[in-house]
Amino acid sequence: MNAGELRQGVARLLVVRASGHATDRQRRYPRWELSNNDLEQLLNAGVGGVILLGGTATELQQRCRTLQRWAGQPILLCADVEEGVGQRFEGASWLVPPMALGRLHRRAPQQAVQLAENYGRCCGNQAKRCGLNWVLAPVCDVNSNPDNPVINVRAWGEDPHTVGELTGAFQRGLAATGVLGCAKHFPGHGDTATDSHLELPLLQHSRERLESLELQPFRTLIQEGVSSVMTAHLLIPALDEQWPATLSANVLTRLLRVDLGFKGLVVTDALVMEAIAARYGAGEAAVLAFAAGADLILMPADAVAAIDALCDALRSGRVPMARLHDSLERRQAALQSLPLTLDSSNNDHRIETAEERAFSLELVTRSLEISNSSTAIGSIQAEASTQPNPIDGINLIRVDGVLPCPVLPADAPAMLLPKALGLHSVLSHPLGISPWADPADPLAPLALDRLGNGPLLLQLFVRGNPFQANRSMREPWTDAIKQLIGLNRLFGLVVYGSPYVWEALSALLPRSIPAAYSPGQMPDAQQQLLQRLLNPDPSPALSTLGINEFTD
């Protein structure tokens, strides 16, 4: 293998990041997303994979064709579409988070397993239609820690049995479409309270505990024949006192390859993440991961530096050349397993079939949890106003951010339906004027004089979002709810996202106050939840609003 071949071979192992948009200026994260010039050069130099984020499904179709053409050879095209392709690419199906099925599994395990299989099939088929050949899912982490800021509702459950059953079913559905899957984040990221996007979490469990909990779903997925496993940026002293899992030969080679017998592709989590990038540097992190047993290097902080460093390590004998051959062979095998029809050039078919649309709505329906829907509204209404309608009150919506806010299009049901009752929307978000009293007052945390008068419907969009850490946990919603109940002003409570926030807050409510929970935050979930919460009788009141217009 000459220097040029070596360099090309090494480049094949990289999976670099691109926006799904056509132009450089449309990139949402230009610090992480390569420019088109850089992408074209790297693909031309042999880079073997691209992870995509952002843009619409239609743009993604076009984008995949362009990247494939720049590469001039089959490449891996992947995305973190854990919750349906529509989670990342508008126009495709946006599914409720996996934890919704984990909760359903408690009362209807067979149904949950069947839905999980359809979930995998839906992700795979839509990925394929968009031009992707590798879905970076399922998350196999057992969310045993409710404070987990980064896994949370992305997990399929809170115990290894549930997660194993559901991720296994997802994988079967995905495999049936021919698209590659990825079990992540090995050896298990469910019991961390630190966001590895920001720092390196520590997992202080014994090997026995890991065997009985964290590793179980990965064993299941390996039995199911999952194509790839993604590593976690975690320090687990019981497995390796020095190296985080992503860089640990003990974890990737001894545990994953030898003990668990995994024969597919091992891919790192994004090396650009602070837990790794800040400590080791772009080139050295790639070499350490590769030496430890990773086949593919995802999102190196600097692709050229990673290629240089890997070439040096192979030439110097620091990493044996056989490792390169093995990794390239595994990559080739994965690409050859793909059906020939995968990269469709026919973009006329719809991205979401009617059956998939119905499936996404069914998932919403089955995951809603409604308490005390009707009676209380009548009583507050009677107190608030002599006329039954409209109520003059507030619809306070808490979101993580508004620039942009995918859960709130301008015609979001979370605003339109309460508006029809006379509740005007007020958004609470990090860039807005604060709704909290200053100085803080535990007995009256909400500055109600800023928000207006009348009954208040509180809708919280809150889930453990990467990079957001536990921001929502620092907001005193518990005290705010007590304050509103004390003033007899709480019209209702809705939580979209975190079951933990829902359980903590709904426990505070008397039976007379309507409340509801949806694991999904998308407009479809708002629509179904509020229709049932605000208008439990199938009366014509809401149907006259034309609210069906925007959900077909």
Query: Active-site positions?
Result: 197, 269
Binding to its own copies by residue 17, rule CB under 8 A? no
User: Residue with structure tokens 């069914």?
Assistant: 362
Distance, CA of 274 to CA of 296 (rounded, Å): 19
What are the Cα distances from residue 442, in Å, to 432, 457, 475, 537?
Answer: 21, 20, 11, 38
Q: Among residues 58 and 512, whose Cβ is nearest to its own copies? A: 58
Q: Among residues 165 and 356, whose Cβ is nearest to its own copies? A: 356
Widest CA span in the chain:
86
Q: Among residues 36 and 114, whose Cβ is nearest to its own copies? A: 36
Binding to its own copies by residue 545, rule CB under 8 A? no
Give min distance, CB of 12 to its own copies, in A: 25
Q: Please write down the HEC assignment for all residues of 308-369.
A: HHHHHHHHCCCCCHHHHHHHHHHHHHHHHCCCCCCCCCCCCCCCCCHHHHHHHHHHHHHHCE
Question: Facing residues of 396 across strands?
Answer: 426, 458
Q: Among residues 190 and 413, whose Cβ is nearest to its own copies? A: 413
Q: What is the token pair recorded at 170?
A: 């997802």
Q: Which of 426, 444, 485, 508 binds its own copies (CB under 8 A)?
A: 426
462 three-state secondary structure: strand
* Residue 421 burial (CB count, 10 A): 22
* Residues 286-315 close enough to bind its own copies by CB under 8 A: none
Question: What's the first-to-final CA gap in the chain, in angstroms?
Answer: 58
Give min distance, CB of 59 to its own copies, in A: 5
Which one of the spans 107-115, 315-323, 375-383, 395-403 is the region binding its own copies (CB under 8 A)?
395-403
Q: Which of 3, 322, 354, 433 binds its own copies (CB under 8 A)?
A: 433
Sorted by sequence, the CB contacts under 8 Å of residue 358 that are 6+ apart come out as: none
Q: Among residues 23 and 341, whose Cβ is nearest to its own copies? A: 23
Q: Among residues 19 and 196, whose Cβ is nearest to its own copies? A: 19
Give min distance, CB of 546 to its own copies, in A: 7
How many chain residues bind its own copies (CB under 8 A)? 58
Distance, CA of 469 to CA of 195 (rounded, Å): 6
Binding to its own copies by residue 439, rule CB under 8 A? no
Binding to its own copies by residue 125, rule CB under 8 A? no
Decide if 171 contacts 182 (C-beta within 8 A).
no
Give min distance, CB of 111 to its own copies, in A: 26
Q: Among residues 90 and 295, whose Cβ is nearest to its own copies? A: 90
Give min distance, CB of 299 to its own copies, in A: 17
* Residue 410 burial (CB count, 10 A): 7
Q: Among residues 208 and 549, whose Cβ is nearest to its own copies? A: 549
Element (H, E) at 515: strand 515-518
Give the closest residue to 39 by CA, choosing from 62, 56, 22, 57.
22
Q: What is the token pair recorded at 335?
A: 């690409």
Give min distance, CB of 547 to its own copies, in A: 10
Binding to its own copies by residue 354, rule CB under 8 A? no
Peptide bond into 161 cis (omega under 30): no
Contact track, its own copies, 226-245, x by CB under 8 A: --------------------
Binding to its own copies by residue 445, rule CB under 8 A? no
Binding to its own copies by residue 58, rule CB under 8 A? yes
* Residues 69-108 close enough to bind its own copies by CB under 8 A: 69, 90-91
Contact track, its own copies, 177-216, x by CB under 8 A: ----------------------------------------
Contact track, its own copies, 329-348, x by CB under 8 A: ------------------xx
Which one of the spans 95-103, 270-278, 288-296, 349-357 is the region binding its own copies (CB under 8 A)?
349-357
Angle between the 99-107 and 109-130 helix axes, to the nearest 10 degrees? 150
Element (H, E) at 394: strand 393-398
Distance, CA of 171 to CA of 140 (rounded, Å): 11
Q: Name the CA radius of gyration of the chain, rounded.
A: 24
Tell me how many degrees the CA angle 385-387-388 measures, rounded to the nearest 5: 95
- Classify residue 65 as left (phi > 0), alpha (psi -120 to 50) or beta: alpha
Q: Which of 340, 354, 410, 507 binds its own copies (CB under 8 A)?
A: 410
Q: Among residues 27 and 219, whose Cβ is nearest to its own copies? A: 27
* Residue 438 burial (CB count, 10 A): 7
Q: Which of 109, 178, 409, 536 binds its own copies (CB under 8 A)?
A: 409
Which residues contribute to the site for its own copies (CB under 8 A)? Answer: 21-28, 30-31, 35, 55-59, 61-63, 66, 69, 90-91, 347-348, 350-352, 401-405, 408-412, 415, 425-429, 431-435, 438, 449-451, 546, 549-552
